[in-house]
Amino acid sequence: MNKVKLLAATIVVTATLGTQASAATPNQVMRMDTNAQGQAHGLFQIQGPITPTSQAVQKAAREGAADSLLSKARAFFWDHQTMLGAGAGDLVLHKQNTDAFGNQHLRFYRTLAGIPVKDMEVLVHFDSAGNMTSVNGEIVQLSPALETHMASQRPRISEADALAAVATLRNTTPDQLRLLSAKQWLFNEAPHVRWHLDLNPENGIDRFSYWLDAETGALIDVQNTLRHPIPFRR
């Protein structure tokens, strides 16, 4: 009998997880947070070994992923689209590394219209032999409001415009700011599309994190990240 612990909409369970297609190796679900609708939403962890279904492997192969680990990860996504709340093509690799033991770790953002969704990331882990050993991360189910907003295809300001807006807020010019990174993110809550700019002033050592409405350029939040490091979650 499965051991289930329910606490603050978090399910911690030792159970088997079958994939959406048949003939997959059962996997242990170590954690699966859910929302009020019972959908996977929040932190999750699946322990392997994990073997995708043959149907998913074929679909991933048709995508033409040259890297065998990437192809295996995409096969897992094909098998678990309902759980992840995303199509396999919506999960985009943004980082890959190998640890001291030869294990490889692939990190994926969930995207919509090419823009990553804030706080959703899926990590797929492989041993040194290339076997998928576990998958974990955080799932964000998209809100109807976000999906409707993105379907409207409203115009957004450019990176240069976002930097100029920050310069105006700081009573300076863009050439007096050193832009370290700039990225758009999606949020379930309005404003749904936001620019995040990480920068420091040309004549100082401070480092600032700015969040702007990507449609109007209006300031949402700013933080001096040297004095107050950016928290893990926003």
Spatial distance between the Cα atoms of 234 and 188, rounded to a whole number of angstroms: 12
Q: Do 63 and 85 belong to one domain?
A: yes
Q: Which residue range forms the structural domain that includes residue 192?
A: 152-224
What amino acid is encoded at 93 in this protein?
A: L
One domain, residues 54 and 86: yes
Residues 204 and 118 in one domain: no
CA distance 195 to 52: 36
Q: Is the four-CA dihedral 52, 39, 90, 29 of positive or negative sign?
A: negative
Q: State pTM to two decimals.
A: 0.83
What integer is the mean pLDDT of 111-140? 97
- Contacts (Cβ under 8 Å, ≥6 apart) of 109: 91, 92, 94, 116, 117, 120, 121
Residue-level pLDDT at 12:
41
What per-residue confidence (pLDDT) applies to 234? 42
Residues 125 and 159 in one domain: no
Quick check: is 1 in a domain? Answer: no
Task: Give yes or no: residues 42 and 62 share one domain.
Answer: yes
pLDDT of residue 201: 87
Per the rule left: phi > 0, alpha: psi between -120 and 50, beta: everything else, 153 is: left
Note whether residue 12 is domain-resident.
no
Residue 231 within a domain: no
31 plus 131 within the same structural domain? yes
**Number of structural domains in the chain:** 2
Query: What CATH number does residue 44 fall under?
Result: 3.10.450
